[in-house]
Homo-oligomer: A and B are copies of this chain.
């Protein structure tokens, strides 16, 4: 490779942790160089962030539209932008870059409405631009191995897919106590939905990504358990998949004391598997007779080993960096860069982003009834 891809970022100024994670992930690949940004709508904060990140002052922009247009005009303009804004701004920001011919990496949920997500999908497709969505769990090497194990038929026909994702950080109404993360994530105008949008989309993607199945319909019971909260904070979803498999998702942000990441379990006619986000380098794979193997990242037969041998655990940033590597792989070979359309593909993309919103909207509409996706 002759050069690093030129990366821009929208959002991710001082204080937000997800911009930090994205930049770290991009750097980890060594295939991106952060050269431009609209890091904050607060001008002085934007400037400070740019300086701290060694972005040239003339490429630190006041808003994403100006940035998209200016970068598009430069010979050395950015190849790709990372959108790490609050959810309600994803659509407009991503749109601005797509309209200017710039590839997009966008945090999940990709938008706050399904219509917006579809709009981005259409636009990316028409423009022939890549649109990655950072469902980070799909970046763990062992999760990709899990996906391949299912695809190989080792578990037989899949019958049951379950994901639990429970956190406790919103067990109290911390959004009223100055917690910035809580503030926007519980504001329906900015977040779209509560735990469904924030972690439900992760859980749903993980279920489809690893199982290789598509959910056809769902029944949801969605609750707000902290009085006065304006979004859902606990939800149960029952799922039916295209092959007839059953499934369930439980997501909660009022699971007091929990902080452990998603737990995925898949059961087929011949075997089962389990993966836990707080122990992300291992997979349990069981046979019909109960024999269970601990499958380790980078162990024998691993097809997604990552940088380091077993015994050197991969963390969250490395998972995210694998998605940035997916992006770089595709942009290095433009014939692959067309949007990938199915949840079966290694790189989570706008198609997966759209499915996330299909789930959120269906769940919010369900009220305990079955809804087709």
Q: Is the CB of A162 within 8 A of B250?
A: yes
The quantity of this chain's copies bound in the complex is 4
Query: Complex Cα distance A246/B160, Å?
Result: 23
Q: Is the CB of A256 within 8 A of B272?
A: yes
Shortest A91–chain B CB gap in Å is: 26
Residue of B nearest to A268 (CB): B256
Instruction: Answer whether residue A28 sits at the interface, using C-beta atoms and an 8 A cutoff.
Output: yes
Instruction: Answer whether residue A198 sits at the interface, using C-beta atoms and an 8 A cutoff.
Output: no
Q: Is the CB of B160 within 8 A of A259?
A: no
Residue of B nearest to A21 (CB): B308
Q: Is the CB of B269 within 8 A of A246?
A: no
Q: Is the CB of B221 within 8 A of A288?
A: no
Query: Complex Cα distance A182/B260, Å?
Result: 36
- Residues of chain B lying within 8 A (CB to CB) of residue A368: 219, 238, 368-370
Q: Is the CB of A168 within 8 A of B288?
A: yes
Query: Complex Cα distance A261/B310, Å?
Result: 9
Query: Complex Cα distance A21/B258, Å?
Result: 31
Q: Is the CB of A286 within 8 A of B256?
A: yes
Residue of B nearest to A310 (CB): B259
Instruction: Answer whether residue A99 sits at the interface, using C-beta atoms and an 8 A cutoff.
Output: no
- Residues of chain B lying within 8 A (CB to CB) of residue A252: 160, 267
Q: Is the CB of A171 within 8 A of B294?
A: no
Q: Is the CB of A293 within 8 A of B292?
A: yes
**Chain A, range 269-297, C-beta contacts under 8 Å to B:** 269-272, 277-281, 284-294, 296
- Residues of chain B lying within 8 A (CB to CB) of residue A28: 24, 27-28, 317
- Residues of chain B lying within 8 A (CB to CB) of residue A3: 54
Which size class do A's interface residues fall under?
35 or more
Instruction: Answer whether residue A372 sits at the interface, using C-beta atoms and an 8 A cutoff.
Output: no
Q: Is the CB of A281 within 8 A of B278?
A: yes
Query: Complex Cα distance A260/B292, Å?
Result: 12
Query: Complex Cα distance A259/B282, Å?
Result: 12
Q: Given A257-B287, A292-B294, are A311 and B238 neighbors across the interface (CB < 8 Å)?
A: no
Residue of B nearest to A3 (CB): B54
Instruction: Answer whether residue A314 sits at the interface, using C-beta atoms and an 8 A cutoff.
Output: yes
Shortest A37–chain B CB gap in Å is: 13
Query: Complex Cα distance A310/B167, Å?
Result: 10
Q: Is the CB of A248 within 8 A of B250?
A: yes
> CB < 8 Å: which of B285, B294, B318 contacts A284?
B294
Instruction: Answer whether residue A265 sits at the interface, using C-beta atoms and an 8 A cutoff.
Output: yes
Instruction: Answer whether residue A23 sits at the interface, using C-beta atoms and an 8 A cutoff.
Output: yes
Instruction: Answer whether residue A255 sits at the interface, using C-beta atoms and an 8 A cutoff.
Output: yes
- Residues of chain B lying within 8 A (CB to CB) of residue A369: 368
- Residues of chain B lying within 8 A (CB to CB) of residue A221: 219, 238, 246
A sample of 30 cross-chain residue pairs with beta-carbon separation below 8 angstroms, ordered by A number, consists of A17-B309, A20-B308, A21-B312, A28-B28, A28-B317, A30-B53, A160-B234, A162-B250, A168-B267, A171-B288, A219-B368, A236-B238, A236-B248, A254-B267, A255-B265, A256-B268, A257-B288, A259-B290, A259-B311, A260-B311, A261-B313, A277-B311, A278-B311, A281-B315, A290-B300, A293-B294, A308-B316, A312-B316, A312-B317, A315-B316
Known: A221-B238, A257-B292. 8 other contacts (CB 8 A): A21-B307, A159-B225, A159-B256, A219-B221, A221-B246, A256-B286, A261-B313, A314-B317
Q: Which 3 A-B pairs have the closest CB atoms?
A: A257-B286, A315-B315, A312-B316
